[in-house]
A = this chain, B = another copy of it.
Amino acid sequence: MEFSSKLLENAVNEMSQLPGVGKRTALRLVLHLLRQPESQTLNLADSLNAMRSKIKFCKSCHNISDTDLCEICANPHRVANTICVVEDIRDVMAIENTSSFRGLYHVLGGKISPMDGIGPNELNIKSLVDKVKEGHVKELIFALGSTMEGDTTNFYIYKQIQECNVITSTISRGISVGNELEYTDEITLGRSIINRIPFETSLKS
């Protein structure tokens, strides 16, 4: 792509570093900004800079936060001895949206994935294990995505805490609410038969 302006080219190149944004999309976005008032570009640039330089991570659960301890960890009404292990902040937001969980979270920051060069030391695993070993945790809920990397990460953490007096569980897998059986993939359907629950229990949820 040949640009008539170096400034435009730089902006497009930087914009196209974002995931899922190619050169053409980047050009479209940048030309859009040129047509808008200058303040919009200024606000975008400022908010990105402010976020990147000032944002903090909760020292307890590693969730993104503006304070040292995030709102969830600092809330005395949450059940502090139940910890839900998630991959990133989007999972926290998704679970919070359900209003079904009153415990705390622990954000790993990713999943163990040797292919991408992510080992256990790149993730917030040690602080989780330490937390469990201190003995205040009653239950650990694994809520990672149901992929090979997710299962590996679950198992890696489980191996380190299995000697501790803590209940471990994973969120249930099965067919989605409202889904037809015939369109469900066979692995999910097979698992949902193996992991069936008493009918009386299903009535309560």
- Which residues of chain A in 3-29 are interfacial with respect to chain B, using CB atoms and an 8 Å cutoff? 3-8, 10-11, 13-15, 17-21, 25, 27-29
Q: Is A47 a contact of B5 with CB atoms below 8 Å?
A: no
User: Given A2-B96, A90-B27, A33 and B8 touching (CB < 8 A)?
Assistant: no
A38–B38 alpha-carbon span in the complex (Å): 24
Residue A30, interface by CB 8 Å = yes
Please give, as numbers and ranges, the residues of chain B lying within 8 Å of A53 by CB-CB distance. 38
Q: Is A4 a contact of B51 with CB atoms below 8 Å?
A: no
Q: Is A7 a contact of B55 with CB atoms below 8 Å?
A: yes
User: Given A31-B90, A88-B31, A4 and B70 touching (CB < 8 A)?
Assistant: yes
A113–B146 alpha-carbon span in the complex (Å): 50
A72–B3 alpha-carbon span in the complex (Å): 11
Instruction: Give the oligomeric copy count.
Output: 2
Find the B residue at minimum CB distance from A58.
B4
Q: Is B2 a contact of A47 with CB atoms below 8 Å?
A: no
Q: Is A34 a contact of B55 with CB atoms below 8 Å?
A: yes
6 A-B pairs (CB sep. < 8 Å) = A1-B93, A4-B65, A14-B43, A18-B29, A34-B55, A45-B48
A interface bracket (residues with beta carbon within 8 Å of B): 35 or more
Please give, as numbers and ranges, the residues of chain B lying within 8 Å of A8 by CB-CB distance. 51, 55, 64
User: Given A28-B19, A30-B51, A32-B18, A4 and B46 touching (CB < 8 A)?
Assistant: no
User: Given A65-B4, A71-B4, A51 and B31 touching (CB < 8 A)?
Assistant: no
User: Given A8-B64, A28-B19, A65-B4, A46 and B48 touching (CB < 8 A)?
Assistant: no
Closest Cβ–Cβ distance, residue A126 to chain B (whole Å): 19
Contact of A7 among B14, B18, B66, B92 (CB under 8 A): B66
A11–B44 alpha-carbon span in the complex (Å): 7
A50–B44 alpha-carbon span in the complex (Å): 13
Q: Is A63 a contact of B4 with CB atoms below 8 Å?
A: yes
Closest Cβ–Cβ distance, residue A86 to chain B (whole Å): 13
